[in-house]
Structure 1
């Protein structure tokens, strides 16, 4: 299933055509391995190129993945200003302090 970030959970798509991909800001793909977030912008960090420059490459099961570095992750969580991220910010900042 594909879900566009501005859609409600009831507006799920079962497929998408490549020519329509540009209309989505963020896509959330439900896969057998779990949800895959395809995002074009991260609040507090920036657009794709900026996010990529602030990422670290990790490898899981022979697949290389870019993940936000810890400083960028903290900035993203601060920018979102969600209650559920407050403790994570404290914990991430404690990790940096070690």
Structure 2
């Protein structure tokens, strides 16, 4: 399936700043509000449904034998025309 990037932002942030962004997303999800992303004059509003697919991925990337970079990605995914079916999977984040 082809991917179309409709918003993107990347910048160095402190742990505290990143936590504040994630807290805002969490608060909006919990209260049933949408999420608005803004950067450099671009803006995108999204309204995740009650149930979405939640993916957590940790990766190590880099050239073989060269320096590596670690990342953790949090992704919410849902069809544009409706909700995903509720699935239970075991996930713990500490």
Q: TM-score, normalised by structure 2?
A: 0.26
Q: TM-score, normalised by structure 1?
A: 0.26
| More relative contact order, 1 or 2 (CA 8 Å, 6+ apart) | 2
